[in-house]
Amino acid sequence: MFGLDSPDGYQEVVPGIRIKTLVSGEKALMTKFLLSAGSKLPDHSHPHEQIGTLVSGRMRLTIGERSREVKAGDSWCVPSDAPHHADIIEDSVAVEVFSPLREDYLKYQNKADIAE
């Protein structure tokens, strides 16, 4: 399976934060986030390990008790069940991988972007 780049298919999940699942497999899933300056990703946790990189922009990411301003090129790992949130400083793009597969994120996959 191949995920093809397209500006279509993003869905807003909270104000200023849009999501699209790029590709998924049996054990993991990759998602792209478009984050608007001034938006906030509320504090939450989930059983999935989450590994990401900031493609562009700047944000303040808090994982558990640790907080850091991240810029384009920086990466992170959110352990399973760790509370985390983000304050978006500049318009940003992030790509994240979740394992195990986040079945709740399959609905954000744009079928037109998938090639076998």
- pLDDT, tens digit, for every residue of 55-80? 999 999 999 999 999 999 999 999 99
Rounded to whole angstroms, the Cα distance separating 78 from 60 reads: 14
Whose CA is closest to 39, among 2, 86, 79, 4?
Answer: 86
AA identity, residue 95 = V
- Report the domain count for the chain: 1
For the beta carbon of residue 96, count every other beta carbon within 10 angstroms.
22
**Is the pTM for the entire model greater than 0.75?**
yes
Give the domain extent around 54: 2-115
Where residue 17 sits, what CATH number does that domain have?
A: 2.60.120.10
What value does the mean pLDDT take over residues 81-102?
A: 98
Query: Which tokens belong to 58?
Result: 């700047």
Task: Give the β-pairing of 11-14 and 40-44.
Answer: unpaired
Sequence letter at residue 94: A
Quote the pLDDT of residue 110: 87
Q: Which tens digit of pLDDT belongs to each residue from 28-52?
A: 999 999 999 999 999 999 999 999 9
